[in-house]
Structures are given as structure tokens and as C-alpha cells.
Amino acid sequence: MSPTSNLYDTLKDLSVDTDDEDEIDDRLVIGIDFGTTYSGVAWATKVDFDNNQVNLVTSWPGNGREEGKVPTELWYDDDKDEIAWGYDIPVDAERFCWFKLLLLRDEDIDMETQGFSFLVQARDMMNKSGKTAVDLVSDYMRLLWEHIMSMIERARGDSVVDGLPIHVVITVPAIWKGYARYAMKEAAKKSGILDFRLAGETKLTFAPEPEAAALPTLLEQGSGVQPGNVYVVCDAGGGTVSTKHAAYRPRRSCGLCGGVFIDQAFERICSGRLGSKWKKATKAGIRDVMKNEWEYGVKPQFKPGKAGKKYVVSLPAELFGNGNASLNDTRREPHIKNGRIYFSEDDIKRTFEGVFADIEKLVEGQIQKATKKGLAVAGIILVGGLGSSPYLYDYLKALHSKSGIAVLQSSGMRPRTAICRGAVFKGFLEELSEELSEEPGPSIRIASTISRASYGIKFRAPFRKHKHLEIDKKWNWIEGRWEANNQMDWYLTRGQEVHKLKPVRRSFYNFVEKASFDGTMTIWFYQCEDEVPPDRATLSVDILGTLQCNVDVLYSELPGFENITGDSWKKLIYEVEMVPSGASVEFAIYIDGRKQGGKSVKFSFL
């Protein structure tokens, strides 16, 4: 990107090829990275975007320093009937953590994660509280949203913000199934994000986390990114690390090897060195060490290579009682002097080693998958809280020094905020895609997505002896013919590349009687994760959900049908459209070319 260009023009040049001179009106795009352990927020008006400015929320209640993210934690004060969140939670409070993962069903969480202590505790606390996962997420989202709006209004003024249409982009894990994304949408609605505004309806969309993470980093590379380049996105977060290679068929892997496990390793070193003293420490004392000394001090800056350097960590005075003699202990390493532990480089390296080895396996796995498909990986993009670590950058760079694979990492807090900043980029890309040409040009963008499962509808077909099974054979007395029930019409098949601007539409019909026609209709959708989906519904075909809506046609307006016995029926002819994307699947029903239902359309995941 040249010094004189702006982000809007760059996205416009990279995402569409058009002679249309119209540009989108000013609006406010807010990107929310709702993370497992930490959440981040970025925002921009079109005017900001024109001036190469994407703003970050870095001021949080209960925290005096600027931080790109806030803990995804809640505490319910039952005595005052109040909720605290993020940094504002008392240090000794029993807090809700990891509740984002509670939106998932157990069968969609790997066994290792299911048994992790933070998640087990979160589920136990949720069950005791009588709240649902949607309740927890919406409570947190409401408090986060109130703070977001107060920060933006402080920066731009109430009157300016009140007059701007808002587009909110929330990032979600790429492998989340439809029901989990739907639950996140319900939580967002419940939080008040979509409440009525005079400036118009607030638009809410979702973006896959790897996609959002890659956009700002790749755009920062400018001309260094060439068409056809393949990149591995390594989202090194607090609890999990996910990797995905962006190529013809993106594949994703995830593991429990985030920053929290490095923190646990450091706490074990402290506990092992201090013994009984550490066990007697208060929650507030341990938190001072883990947050102020470690997370904000040693951990983000650590980079091996400085021989003899000591990493000094101050210990809370409560560990030493009233006597000064116990402030010093040099009998064994790491030494304690004047109430401080002097860690060596090897001590600190040990806290990272296990996690880095697991990250290496995930990254290498993605590179090997790409290689097997004949794709050469050009680079590894580091994002997330741990993604800003200079040690992780050097570690991966050394591993790939001879392979020609570059390691890309922004400076400062930018890796930590890459996902929420990318969500803002994604929001403006969607605005451009809607208002300008749909023809793709050379781009740093997501041109298409890959279906992770097969999606379709059951239907009946004229029975063919050598094509259909006898078990599916059934007489259709209305039309007077043998039919094969239980057949599957797949809109999308697993692994199929689908351009998100080209919806898939199928035509169907039902026979209806006046007594049973109430102006509504329900469509059942199915999914299958087999490599090749079956032609008929088998045990591997699961119910995805139902689409219910009101129709804008009267019974008297439907075309008539009379069968061979003289019985009269009405024929309801309709089209069902499915629009898949990287983060959601949308459905619509059309009758005579008119989209049905409007706000009365409801999709329910089962």
C-alpha cells in the first residue's frame, strides 16, 4: 500500500473491479473479537478508514494501563445484584471463565478440552447458577457493548455516533457449527447490540477468526503478497492455538497450547521454589505475581540470547511474614534476594518449551497438508496474544530459515488485536461487495469458502427400479405414481468451493388443502459429514434444523391441481435458497420470485 493511498481505496482496488464511482456513505463498523480468555474491539468510520485509521479500544474499567484486550470473565455479586467483568472483577472473586466454549455441545469439543480444569469449573458454575451459556455470553456482551459505545461517543461525540448506521462484525472460530453461531447471534440480540436506533437497523455479521486475522497482516505486506500465495494463520490465543492454511481448500487444526499453559508452567516454577509459602499466599498475592510481574512484565518481552541476564520477579510481602531474614534465600537457585526471585534464562525458557513444541506440530501439520495438495506455503502469520511474543517469532523463524517460508508478525500490540482489526476490514469489504460490482478482481480477500459438510433437503423422486431401493418405494395417491421417499438433494457437498455471492437455489412443491393451509410453512434441512454424501438419508445424515416463515400468498391464489380420480388440490410451488459463507449459513424461501417472511423467518438448529 503506497503512503498516499487509504484503506478504503486499497480494499476497493483489491476486492472489486468496477467503474462505479459511487462510494458507501459514512457509517461505523465495529469489530469484536470475542475470545475464550480475552476479547478485543476495533472500530472505524468510513472517514477514519479513508485516513488509514482503525481505532482500538485500549481503556478498560478497573485497569489503569492501555491494553489491547480485556479478560473474557464475569462475576455476579449476588448481594448487590450487580455484574462485574474484565479487569473490574475483585481479585479474590470466583469468576466465570471460558464460558464461550459452553456454547458448544459436548460432542463438538475434543476430549482433552472437555476435561480441562477451567472449562469443567465454568460448566459447574453455570449449572449451579441456573444460567445458560447464552445468558453468560449475552451478559458479558452487554457490558462490553456499553463500554464500546461510551468509548466511541467520547472520541466522536454523542450526536455524531447517533447519526451513523452501525455494522457489527463478531468473529467466531472457523470450525464452529451452525447451532453455535446461531447461539452467538441470539446472545448478541439479547445483549442489546441490535436494539432500535434512529440511524437505522444495526447490521450484524460474523467472520471466521482466521480470515479476520489474516486480512490486516496481509494488507500491511502490500505488494509483497502475490496472487496464489498460501499462508498459514497461527492464532496463538490465551487458551487455544488454531492454525489454518488459506488456499484452495482451507484446513484447520486446533490445540490446547495457548498462553495460559505457559502461565501455568511459570506458576509451577514459583510454587516449586517457594513451597509452603506459595500455598499460603492469598489469591490477590498470586494474582499480583502472575499478572503484574509475569503477564505484563517478563512473558511478553522474553527473548533468549542474553547470556547471564536475570529476570527479576517481585514477590508479595505477605509471603515473608514480619521478619526480614526470610526475604533472602540463596541456598539454591533461583535465588531469592530482598523478596525478589532472580530467574535465569533457562528457567524462563522451560515455561515456553512444551507449548512451543505443540504449536510447532500444529503449524507443521498445516504446511504438510498444503504440500500434499501441491501448494507451496509462502508464510506463517502470527496473531493473538501469544502471537506477539518475540520468542515465538524467533522460534518459528529459526525452524523455517532454510525453507523460504516467511514468518509475519506486526509490532506492538497489533498481533494481539489483529482479529478485531480484521473484523473491521471484513465489515468494509462486505459493504463494498454489496454496493459495488460483484465481479472479483485481484485481491487480498476471501473469494470463496469451502463447505465443511454437505447440506441438503429430503425429497421424493419418481421411483426407478435400478436406481432406488425398494425400502424407499411408496405410492403417491395424489399424483398416482410410485415414488422413492427419503432421497437427498444436496445443495452443497463437503469440500465444494462456493462463491459466497452466488447463492444455491432449488425448486420444490407441496400439495395443500384449504383446511390445513394456515399461511405458514416449515422446511427441514439436513447435513452430512461423509466425504461423499449418500443419495438417500442414512444414519450419517443428521437434522440440521428447520426454517419457519409466513408466506405472502393466499390459498385462493395458488394454482389448482386435479388428479386422475377427480380430487382437487392446490399446488404450493416454492424455491429454497441457501447462502453459505465462512462463518454462517443463511436460508430464504421464495414464491413467484418474492422472498418470504421478512423478520418472521426463523431458523432453528436442532
pLDDT in tens, 232-258: 888 777 666 666 555 433 445 666 667
- 97: β partners: 73
- The H or E element spanning position 169 is strand 166-172
Q: What CATH number was assigned to the domain covering residues 222-252+358-408?
A: 3.30.420.40
- 313: β partners: 341
Residue 201 DSSP label: P
Q: Identify the burial level of 119 via C-beta atoms within 10 angstroms of its C-beta, where 0-12 means exposed, 13-18 middle and 19 or more buried.
A: buried
Dihedral of CA atoms 357, 358, 362, 368 in degrees, nearest 10, equals 40
The predicted structure's pLDDT at residue 434: 58
The predicted structure's pLDDT at residue 441: 36
Measured CA to CA, the distance from residue 141 to residue 125 in angstroms comes to: 19
C-alpha cell belonging to residue 127: 449449572
- The H or E element spanning position 273 is helix 259-274
The predicted structure's pLDDT at residue 371: 86
Picking from 88, 91, 87, 55, the residue whose alpha carbon sits closest to that of residue 70 is: 87
* Third-level CATH fold of 7-220+419-435: Nucleotidyltransferase; domain 5 (3.30.420)
The predicted structure's pLDDT at residue 153: 96
- The H or E element spanning position 82 is strand 82-85
Q: In what order do the strands lie in the sheet with 241-246?
A: 251-255, 241-246, 230-236, 377-383, 406-408
Measured CA to CA, the distance from residue 88 to residue 154 in angstroms comes to: 20
Q: Which long-range contacts (CB under 8 A, 24 or more apart) does 297-302 make?
A: 298/343, 298/348, 299/259, 299/262, 299/263, 299/266, 299/389, 300/388, 300/389, 301/390, 302/348, 302/352, 302/389, 302/390, 302/391
Q: Are 383 and 415 in contact (CB under 8 A)?
A: yes
Q: Can you list the residues of the chain whose pLDDT is less than 50?
A: 1-5, 14-22, 247-251, 324, 436-443
The predicted structure's pLDDT at residue 221: 65
Instruction: For the beta carbon of residue 37, count every other beta carbon within 10 angstroms.
Output: 21
- The H or E element spanning position 573 is strand 568-580
Which positions ≥6 away from 43 have C-beta within 8 Å? Answer: 28, 29, 30, 31, 54, 55, 57, 148, 152, 424
Phi, psi of 111 (to 5 degrees): -60, -40
C-alpha cell belonging to residue 34: 470475542
Q: Are 587 and 210 in contact (CB under 8 A)?
A: no
The predicted structure's pLDDT at residue 482: 96
